[in-house]
Structure 1
Amino acid sequence: MTFARLLLGIAPGALCVAGPLAAQEAEEPFALGEIVIEALRTGATESAIPGTVQVIEAEQIEAQAQSGKTLPTIISDLVPGLAPANGTIGGASQTLRGRTTQILIDGIARTSELRGFDRELAMIDPASIARIEVVKGSTARYGNGATGGIINIVTNKADTDTTQTTVSTNLSFQEADSDTFSYGGSFSHERRVGELGLRIELSNEYNGLSFDGSGDRIPADPLLGQGDDQDSTRSAIGFAADWTRGAHEFEFRLDAYAFEQDIDFFSDYDTSPVSVGENPYTGEPVSDEGRTAKLTYRNAEFALGELEVSAFATDIERRSAFTEPSVVNSQYYADGAGSTEQDPDSQSELFTTTYGLDATVRSPADWIGAEATLTWGLDIGRDEVEQQLLDGTDVIAPMVQDSLAAFAQLDVPLGERWEISTGLRAERFWLSVSDFTRPDSVFLSGTTAVALPAVDVIGGDFEYDAVVGNIGAVFHATPTVDLYGGFSQGFSIPDVGAFTRRAAAENPFLAGQTVSYADIGPDAQIVNTWQLGTRYNNAAWRVDVSAYYSTSDEGTVFDSSTNTITQQKERIWGAEATADYKIREDWSLGTNIAFVEGEYDDDQDGSIDSWLPNSRIPSTYTARLYTTKNFDNGLILSGEAVYASGRDKSDYPELDDTTTINASGSYPLGAGRVTLGVTNLFDTYQFNPTASSVRENPDIIVAEEGRRISLDYTVSF
């Protein structure tokens, strides 16, 4: 199906919904309330935004988590345009509109864009989330990284007038083996003491083994070093406090978590799908530890408008899995110069520390028009990144990056029908790359192992800068219909650490070679996105339909066959639609569908001539159909079908489609509520398209988990 045909298919449906406008304009809108989208920093609500925005409320997240889903799966199922979750603790290939996603927690990134393992979503306790804001399309509101969009996770704070304790316990299992038992619990308490609000959160969970729909065990490291949540424990603690007096408000949040996965056997990548091998695992456990603190001050009566200042710091330590030499791990670190034996300490650990200070002012712009607002400010940041083997040997160049940005966003209502939005962000980076020696390594070709001498990488001090803008408009055609469109830009500096880790001399077999970071470092990538859409909202329907087109001259592609990263021209296009319908007050039905496709300049001759790899677009089409029914006795029943098309393009392995049926029911029991959920209800044997897209030559097929049954009990008092 082509993009044009998809739009032709969506358009009649949108027109059918919009057709009875004259009869329905007087009806009350879908009662969800006006939510300020914090990810935009402007104080704008969804109806005033000239782009595709989605808000996932805590109730939706809670219901999905209690039915047995992980947070990456919850978000991918609910957000059209986000690639299906890959089933591991890493976010490899889980792109948004075919591009990178900036994951924020309360408006801050937990790890540096200079080098990351993409584990943010897997490390967050769903019980701590108040809502999730998804802003699609290239954007620079928070600086480097959001070429496909922003996912901003807003955490809970104490309610305004309630003292409450919530306790939740859960258990899940698969029929295949008793070792699949997973269990955990969470606790939260919040209260108000005068003008002070306090909230404490604790959680702990253990995850057992996982089996596919045919009853075979899924390996604990199916994606070569990513690890997953099998045989793992995760603990988290969070503390939030807020204090308000008059126009002044302070908020403080402190989070800490620890994750560890024990792997018992190496994975066998010679089988299809990947299976549990026979060799006992000899490395250290996969681990992830993080600490984050943020302090925010707001002044609603600041001389220039509304002031918000935030200071934050994060400290993250991440260890990947140890991997044996294999057909997909064809280059590994050597146990000494000239040796072809693997270094037993060649398991990497990533250390990232970030600091930041953000200042935002929302000033009245009455000199332009009534109710016009100018949002402006400064962002200051610092990233410190190292990646080392267990013995302390650097595997990337240690680096420090400082950044300074200024931004301004103008929002102007024109009468009662039009809202215009435009803005600029200018950012400069100062990147200091230390000299380092890329360790001795080995290249494995079939059964032949060739020693590759160490390479000296010369660092230096470098500067990047970017000036990006956006402009858009919303037309309130009727009280129930909004038309929106706009142009926006985002930028990123692609994984600088990965470029130094893969540093190669002109003659890789000759000892004593030197390369300069100035010759191998990536260019800053600017992405341009155009999008058009319409929103429809009345008493029964809530609909959003959009189409987009994005381009970049410095797109980034990873080739797993050569272990190299290249940059070249690319373009991506797609369309998305969501529709929610209230059949009755107690019965709802909904769907979301998405299409995405893209091409790039494979041979770098200036002409875009090849499909983007599956690792960028693992499924061309995705869709979800759901229904929820509330009964008078308190019973709630839900069911859904989730579809991913996979992808079949020349020069790439074919990725199969998947259809997963999930069901859940909850019922009041005692002072709380019990929930029974089943994922993959029919125990379908199928392959995960996103996980199977990560390695394409040779391709690795990863099986999807089979049926899992979950039981949850939650009580608040």
Structure 2
Amino acid sequence: MLALSGNVIAKQNNNENLEHIIVTGSRVIENIDEVPASVTVITREQIEAQLKVNPELQNLLQMMVPGMAPSTNSSSNTGQTLRGRAPLVMIDGVPQSTPLRNGSLGIRTLDPSVIERIEVIKGATSVYGNGAAGGVINYITKKPTTADDFSAELDVSTRFSAVKADETLGARIEGSVSGRANKFSYLATISYEENGVQRDAEGDILGLQYGLSDVQTHNYFTKLGYDFDADKALAFTYNYYKSQQKTDLGDVFGNVNSGDKSYAIHVPPAQQKQGRPQGPSGNTNAMLKYTDNAIFAHTALTLDLYAQDIENVFFFSPNLANPDEGYDGGQSIIASQKQGLRATLNTLIDFDNTEATFIYGIDALQDTTSQPLVDGREWVPEMDMSNLAGFFQSKWVMFDDYVIKAGVRHEDIDLEVDDYRTLKLCRNAQQCSVAFEVRGDTLNYTATTYNVGLKYNAYEQFSPFFSYSQGADISDIGRLLRSATVDDIALIRTEAALIDNYEVGFTSVLDSLRIEASLYRSTSDLGTTNRFDEATGVYMPVRAPQEIWGYEALVDYRFHPAWRATATYSYVEGKNTAEDIYLGGKQISPPKATVNLQWQATDDAALTLSTLYVGSRKRFTANDAGEYVGDQGPIDDYFVMNLSGNWQFNSSANAYFGIENLLNRDYYPARAQAYTYGGYNIKGLGTTITAGIHYQF
């Protein structure tokens, strides 16, 4: 089921006694009607519906979030931007992205079984700090049961290719227990998934570049709570996530320009992927939350103390070779440790015909990130960031119909890097980068960002809004450092990018019909793209001003008590304004449309048919050799249709199925067409079937 945002979720959930609030936009609980911005909230029911088709969060977001680029059909979300810029991915407000060295692995960072809902706020924002250039994706995890009893759930499923079933059989099991005893509550979830090989529409095994064939995934999640009284509570959350590929396959590399796909075959050990298994090797998150809803008059306090340890292992790449030192390639790791404290105060004051909310506090973050190679070489030196920020946000609801929001955030960041030496890397004997000794330093960034928004809610038939928001972004400093061509860090263009985001839109509710539409434009004085250096064989960073613009629309119509249709369309485009050239596929995705048709056949049976259409984007010309380079490959359109259904046996048990790529369409995903880098031209999944049983007791 496609995500519904704004009032329609609130109205539906009022009838079903479900939560209809969001917390991401202003860091506190608020009604979604009072947010003057584009918001998508994906409910637990919608998450479960999507899992029937595909268990990957990238696929769920592409289907449910207008403005989200198409899924990459892999473990990496590089190229899967939000409105043309990188989003900040969070778990309960704790950043999962690694902005200092953005490896584009943040979306796939926990198992969907522990998620209660997903909140997506679009457009640059500094509400949660660095890295939210495109917006925020916040995974809100489940809470323990509120009743004084015990409950448990068990889900078992299998997944296999309908094109060629050999070696494709996979299995997934998840179980959870939840309960409450007086003031103490608990929730524990364990999930394990093991994939078989994945095959395209021709029956060939998909290539291994960030591939999901033969991947084993573990997730352990627990949440413990203690209520001191009606106003004061303490909660502890822990999540462990590991997902690695262990396979005896090897790649047969194709080429985008020649039209030959990359795929995998069984090979002798000497030809298999070298090094460690790729993927998260055991990422951990721990958070302690204290809330006091009456710290003093009309004011609530929330304190969040968190720690995180991330180690994402990449595939072995021959492009990290240095024959002079005996290296025929290399394998990198993004290692990141974060410790943070967030203190948020929320004061509510009622005036005549006006309800005022004031949100204010401080954020402190220590982020240490590096990207070494498994063989001991230092590719990206350790970056030690200290971030202290203060913020103030106000919201005024006047006469129940007018909503005005305004806020400010001041950021003070120190980034310390010791002296280091860049690596000499060779694609071949004629293409080698030049190593530099670089003097380190402590870089200081300060930024003050503002936001303001207006919304008018007097008429359901037309509820318009306008918003302006800024974000300060120092993301992917690591890429700049590893590609340095100067001998002093102070000479590298590491300046922060200040992003201005403008948006205007409306929602309309006419009986059973709902329409949402928005136009947006974002500008930044500095962006970061790549340009291939023929002499060195290295993709060098390019810092240049950027402008990105687009529009989105959603139509939701319940034309019969048993039938419902939802359609979305999103378009985004962007340019390097200094050179007046279009941005490549790493940032800008082609147009995207989704259509979702639901049929509640009986009280116990339901079917859902969903379609994804990705349009064409051909903004670039080939070079003198007739080849496309970088992320500038031409994208042809394609569409994929999925079918899912479930049958409720009784109040405790149900069975379900899902068919991905129902018509077995033979296609390349958008990134596979745009990226000319070696190994990315991997086709999409052929027809794949999921079947499972869920039991609650």
Q: TM-score, normalised by structure 2?
A: 0.90
Instruction: Report the residue type matching 1:614 in the other structure.
Output: G
Q: Which residue of 1 aligns with 2:506?
A: 534
1:188 matches 2:159: no
Q: Distance in 1 between matches of 2:440 and 2:250?
A: 36
Deviation at 1:709, TM superposition (A): 0.6
Instruction: Report the residue type matching 2:221 in the other structure.
Output: G
Worse-matched range after superposition: 390-399 or 349-358: 390-399
Q: Is this contact kept in 1: 2:55–2:112, CA < 8 A? A: no
Q: Distance in 2 between matches of 1:662 and 1:592?
A: 16
Q: Distance in 2 between matches of 1:241 and 1:362?
A: 24
Q: Distance in 2 between matches of 1:691 and 1:292?
A: 32
Q: Which residue of 2 aligns with 1:405?
A: 389
Deviation at 1:281, TM superposition (A): 2.5
SS at match of 1:398: strand
Q: Which residue of 2 aligns with 1:293?
A: 286
Which aligned pairs between 1:208-227 and structure 2 lie closer than 5 A? Answer: 208-221=196-209, 227=210
Q: Is this contact kept in 2: 1:471–1:488, CA < 8 A? A: yes
Deviation at 1:420, TM superposition (A): 0.5
1:350-372 alpha-carbon deviations (Å, 9 max, x no partner)? 21100100011111345797311
Of residues 391, 406, 420 in structure 1, which corresponds to 2:404? 420
Q: Is this contact kept in 2: 1:364–1:372, CA < 8 A? A: yes
SS at match of 1:499: helix
SS at match of 1:179: coil
Give the share of equivalent positions with the same residue, in percent: 26
Q: Is this contact kept in 1: 2:96–2:109, CA < 8 A? A: no
Q: Which stretches in structure 2 are left out of the alignment for 5+ residues? A: 1-10, 622-631
Change (3 A) 1:459 1:343: farther
Change (3 A) 1:364 1:669: closer
1:397-429 alpha-carbon deviations (Å, 9 max, x no partner)? 111100000001110122232111000011010
Q: Is this contact kept in 2: 1:38–1:107, CA < 8 A? A: no
Q: Distance in 1 between matches of 2:356 and 2:41?
A: 25
Of residues 413, 416, 428 in structure 2, which corresponds to 1:432? 416
Worse-matched range after superposition: 630-639 or 406-415: 630-639
Q: Which residue of 2 aligns with 1:677?
A: 658
Q: Distance in 1 between matches of 2:582 and 2:545?
A: 12
Deviation at 1:47, TM superposition (A): 0.8
1:491 matches 2:472: yes
Q: Is this contact kept in 2: 1:417–1:477, CA < 8 A? A: yes
Deviation at 1:228, TM superposition (A): 2.3
Instruction: Report the residue type matching 1:640 in the other structure.
Output: S
Q: Which residue of 1 aligns with 2:65?
A: 79
Q: Which residue of 1 aligns with 2:607?
A: 637
Q: Distance in 2 between matches of 1:567 and 1:583?
A: 50
Worse-matched range after superposition: 142-151 or 365-374: 365-374
Instruction: Report the residue type matching 1:201 in the other structure.
Output: T
Change (3 A) 1:267 1:521: farther
Change (3 A) 1:443 1:682: closer
Q: Distance in 2 between matches of 1:96 and 1:105?
A: 17
Q: Which residue of 2 aligns with 1:546?
A: 518
Instruction: Report the residue type matching 1:90 in the other structure.
Output: S
Q: Which stretches in structure 1 are left out of the alignment for 5+ residues? A: 1-26, 222-226, 506-514, 602-606
Q: Which residue of 2 aligns with 1:21?
A: none
1:563 matches 2:539: yes
Worse-matched range after superposition: 385-394 or 676-685: 385-394
Deviation at 1:43, TM superposition (A): 2.8
Q: Which residue of 1 aligns with 2:81?
A: 95
Of residues 564, 572, 576 in structure 2, which corresponds to 1:600? 576
Q: Which residue of 2 aligns with 1:13?
A: none
1:306 matches 2:289: no
Of residues 435, 440, 459 in structure 2, which corresponds to 1:459? 440
Q: Distance in 1 between matches of 2:198 and 2:205?
A: 6
Q: Which residue of 1 aligns with 2:157?
A: 170
Q: Is this contact kept in 2: 1:492–1:526, CA < 8 A? A: yes
Of residues 707, 711, 715 in structure 1, which corresponds to 2:687? 707
Instruction: Report the residue type matching 2:354 in the other structure.
Output: A
1:317 matches 2:311: yes
Which aligned pairs between 1:229-244 and structure 2 lie closer than 5 A? Answer: 229-244=212-227
Q: Distance in 2 between matches of 1:204 and 1:714?
A: 15
Worse-matched range after superposition: 697-706 or 303-312: 697-706
Which aligned pairs between 1:498-509 and structure 2 lie closer than 5 A? Answer: 498-505=479-486
1:144-183 alpha-carbon deviations (Å, 9 max, x no partner)? 0111111111000112115310100110100313211111
Deviation at 1:265, TM superposition (A): 4.0
1:482 matches 2:463: yes
Change (3 A) 1:375 1:369: farther
Q: Which residue of 1 aligns with 2:142?
A: 156
Which aligned pairs between 1:92-171 and structure 2 lie closer than 5 A? Answer: 92-161=78-147, 163-171=150-158
Instruction: Report the residue type matching 1:554 in the other structure.
Output: L
**Aligned residue pairs, count:** 657
Q: Is this contact kept in 2: 1:248–1:298, CA < 8 A? A: yes
Change (3 A) 1:111 1:654: closer
Of residues 596, 602, 611 in structure 1, which corresponds to 2:582? 611
Deviation at 1:291, TM superposition (A): 0.9
Instruction: Report the residue type matching 1:167 in the other structure.
Output: L
SS at match of 2:491: helix
Q: Which residue of 1 aligns with 2:551?
A: 575
Q: Distance in 2 between matches of 1:467 and 1:206?
A: 47
Change (3 A) 1:608 1:471: farther
Deviation at 1:35, TM superposition (A): 2.4
Instruction: Report the residue type matching 2:217 in the other structure.
Output: R
Q: Is this contact kept in 2: 1:300–1:306, CA < 8 A? A: yes
Worse-matched range after superposition: 240-249 or 129-138: 240-249
Deviation at 1:191, TM superposition (A): 0.5
Instruction: Report the residue type matching 1:302 in the other structure.
Output: I
CA RMSD in angstroms, aligned pairs only: 2.1
Change (3 A) 1:599 1:452: closer
Of residues 26, 39, 42 in structure 2, which corresponds to 1:53? 39
Of residues 195, 207, 221 in structure 2, which corresponds to 1:207? 195
SS at match of 1:497: helix
The runs of at least 4 consecutive aligned structure 1 residues that moved more than 4 Å come to 27-34, 365-369, 450-453, 697-700
Worse-matched range after superposition: 99-108 or 153-162: 153-162
Q: Is this contact kept in 1: 2:391–2:408, CA < 8 A? A: yes
Q: Is this contact kept in 1: 2:472–2:499, CA < 8 A? A: yes
Q: Distance in 2 between matches of 1:560 and 1:707?
A: 36
Q: Which residue of 1 aligns with 2:276?
A: 284
Q: Distance in 1 between matches of 2:521 and 2:431?
A: 45
Q: Which residue of 2 aligns with 1:8?
A: none
Q: Distance in 2 between matches of 1:423 and 1:369?
A: 22
Q: Which residue of 1 aligns with 2:643?
A: 663
Q: Which residue of 1 aligns with 2:7?
A: none
